[in-house]
């Protein structure tokens, strides 16, 4: 039996003893409810003022039994309550220490500020893709949900500098601001840029007019879920086949086709080769639909003569396993 279960049983036992004392004094001594209630309280607390005490032999025997059982049960209840509180506090301290150690080991991770509906979906996707991330939230219910999922988190206010530092912002690769208001997201952006000027910042915008302010504050990209959702619903009416294609290539559940962004790292065997020479289509069955340069320039439907350079982000489309194999080539010699 766990300490909490023991405490529950002890409390129920104490209540039953308390009720038994009241009823017993009413029956044996003929007292009213108030006198019986008062006498039971002072008996169990061993105060014993002496203004009310049993006059009959049966009442005195009953009181003696009540003292032996009731006082023992009360002491046991207090002990279990103390044990439960100390154990709970100890678990919190141990858990917090463990989480802090895990956060300190992270590098090039992401920080998710706010774990509401959108933040939770982002966390699930990062978790499925096996990316390191830390969630910041202060809502106890949300924290419990995060713990159940096994996410690394820091409980606190994301707009506070000390909270961002505790989440490892100095070593973080990016931060996602999905707090309830644009003002909170704006404050996080300003603080994040001050603590880590090179960090990539993605922010949600609730009001249409907030996008420019968030970008000026330092966000690399600002997205409005309402605008994106509206455009997607409109596409479902106007261009349903196109929407089906996008969902097939971008949704994780798709096993037929996958579209992925693959970065060409230093030392990769495809650097300096043209798309044709790299034999991406022949070896992996993939189509390179676009290339994003380090400068941000996008090259759509690149020619077969395009020379692959280090740092290029190749937007590849094909079967999931083939995309994974090609990513390994881009990362290794």
List % helix, strand, coil for the chain (3-state, nearest 5). Answer: 55, 15, 30
pTM of the complete model: 0.60
- Per the CB < 8 A criterion, the answer to whether 132 and 109 are in contact is yes
Q: Where are the domains of the chain?
A: 3-97, 107-228, 251-331
Q: How confident is the model at residue 333 (pLDDT cuts 50, 70, 90)?
A: very low
Q: Which of 38-47, 86-95, 113-122, 265-274 has the lowest mean pLDDT?
A: 86-95
Q: Which of 51-55, 125-129, 266-270 has the lowest mean pLDDT?
A: 51-55
Report pLDDT digits (tens) over 77-111. 777 777 667 665 555 545 566 778 888 889 999 99
Report pLDDT digits (tens) over 129-156. 889 999 999 898 998 898 888 898 988 9
| pLDDT, the chain, mean | 83
Q: Scanning the structure block, which residue is given the tokens 């309830």?
A: 180
Report pLDDT digits (tens) over 190-227. 999 999 999 999 999 988 788 889 999 999 999 988 88
CATH classification of 251-331, choosing from 3.30.70.1450, 2.40.10.10, 3.60.21.10, 3.40.50.620? 3.30.70.1450
Instruction: Report the alpha-carbon distance of residue 158 to residue 332 in Å, rounded.
Output: 37
Stretch 237-253: mean pLDDT: 72
Instruction: Report the alpha-carbon distance of residue 158 to residue 80 in Å, rounded.
Output: 37
pLDDT for residue 136: 94
Q: How many angstroms separate the Cα of 147 from the Cα of each of 38, 176, 182?
A: 46, 20, 27
Degrees (nearest 5) of the Cα angle 180, 232, 224? Answer: 25
CATH topology of domain 107-228: Rossmann fold (3.40.50)
Instruction: Report the alpha-carbon distance of residue 307 to residue 295 in Å, rounded.
Output: 16
pLDDT exceeds cutoff 60 at 8: yes
Percentage of the residues of the chain whose pLDDT score is greater than 90? 27
Architecture of domain 3-97: Orthogonal Bundle (1.10)
Instruction: Report the alpha-carbon distance of residue 143 to residue 163 in Å, rounded.
Output: 15
pLDDT for residue 32: 84
Q: How many angstroms separate the Cα of 110 from the Cα of each of 96, 153, 236, 320?
A: 19, 11, 32, 24
Stretch 301-314: mean pLDDT: 89
Classify 191 in phi/psi space as left (phi over 0), alpha (psi -120 to 50) or beta: alpha
Q: Which of 6-20, 233-247, 248-262, 308-322 has the lowest mean pLDDT?
A: 248-262
pLDDT for residue 330: 74
Report pLDDT digits (tens) over 289-301. 899 988 888 898 8
- Per the CB < 8 A criterion, the answer to whether 38 and 21 are in contact is no
Among residues 74, 60, 68, the alpha carbon closest in space to that of 14 is found at 74
Report pLDDT digits (tens) over 34-55. 888 888 887 777 766 566 667 7
């Amino acid at each position: 039996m766990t300490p909490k279960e023991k405490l529950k049983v002890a409390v129920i036992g104490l209540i039953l003893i308390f009720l038994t004392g009241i009823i017993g004094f009413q029956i044996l001594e003929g007292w009213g409810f108030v006198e019986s209630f008062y006498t039971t309280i002072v008996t169990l607390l061993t105060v014993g003022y002496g203004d009310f005490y049993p006059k009959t032999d049966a009442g005195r025997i009953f009181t003696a039994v009540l003292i032996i059982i009731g006082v023992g049960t009360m002491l046991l209840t207090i002990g279990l309550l103390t044990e439960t509180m100390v154990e709970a506090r100890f678990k919190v301290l141990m858990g917090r220490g463990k989480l802090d150690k895990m956060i300190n080991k992270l590098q090039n991770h992401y920080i998710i500020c706010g774990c509401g509906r959108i933040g939770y979906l982002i966390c699930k996707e990062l978790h499925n893709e096996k990316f390191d991330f830390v969630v910041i939230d202060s809502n106890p219910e949300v924290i419990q949900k995060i713990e159940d999922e096994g996410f690394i988190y820091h409980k606190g206010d994301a707009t506070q500098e000390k909270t961002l530092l505790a989440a490892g912002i100095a070593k973080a690769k990016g931060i996602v601001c999905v707090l309830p208001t644009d003002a909170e997201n704006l404050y996080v952006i300003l603080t994040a840029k001050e603590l880590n000027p090179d960090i990539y910042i993605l922010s949600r915008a609730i009001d249409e007019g907030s996008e420019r302010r968030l970008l000026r504050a330092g966000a690399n990209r600002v997205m409005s879920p309402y605008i994106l959702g509206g455009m997607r619903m409109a596409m479902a009416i106007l261009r349903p086949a196109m929407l089906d294609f996008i969902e097939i290539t971008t949704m994780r559940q798709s096993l037929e086709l996958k579209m992925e962004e693959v970065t060409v790292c230093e030392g990769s065997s495809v650097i300096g080769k043209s798309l044709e020479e790299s034999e991406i289509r022949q070896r992996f069955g993939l189509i390179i639909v676009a290339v994003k340069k380090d400068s941000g320039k996008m090259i759509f439907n690149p020619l077969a003569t395009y020379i692959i350079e280090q740092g290029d982000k190749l937007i590849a489309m094909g079967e999931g396993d083939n995309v994974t194999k090609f990513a390994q080539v881009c990362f290794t010699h």
